[in-house]
Amino acid sequence: MKWLLTFLIFQFIFLYGCEKRETFSPGNGSNNTGNRLLKVDVYESNGSSLFPRENILVELYNNRSDFIYRDGRSNFGYTDSTGRKTFEGVASGFYYVVASDSGRDKADSVSVPASAVVSFLEIVYY
């Protein structure tokens, strides 16, 4: 009897663990649709504090060649008074990001996973 009870408990745990659960998938079912947000924050550092930078050009490149030659950017915009540029409708993938201010360019990269709704990147001028 004890063996049967153990077996039934094991079967319940096994079947429940294998049950397909609904997962969140933004958009129309495709994980690469451009429905994500990428928030890029740009700051200036004085050594001990960070200050948001307004009106900084932020550019997105979705391949290395375009990034290197600064050709074919996929999106761009300027930071607001809080130092943030929010890109809407971003597809999942890997992006090169360039923040430009009067000849001072800072570059970084960010991966926007298929499972993400919002991704963040901080760029700091020293």
Report the half-sphere exposure of 27 (CA within 13 A, side-chain side). 17
Q: What is the mean pLDDT of residues 46-50?
A: 91
Q: 37: how many CB neighbours lie within 10 A of its CB? A: 15
Closest to 107 measured CA to CA, from 90, 121, 93? 121
Tell me the CATH architecture of domain 36-125. Sandwich (2.60)
Strand partners, 97: 60, 108
Residue 42 has pLDDT above 50, yes or no: yes
CA atoms of 117 and 104, how far apart (whole Å): 31
109 Cα distance to chain centroid: 10
Task: Give the per-residue pLDDT at 122.
Answer: 94
Q: What is the pLDDT of residues 75-93, one digit of tens each?
A: 999 999 999 999 999 999 9
Residue 119 has phi, psi (to 5 degrees) of: -120, 150
- 35 against 98, higher pLDDT: 98
Mean pLDDT of 10-17: 60
* pTM of the model as a whole: 0.71
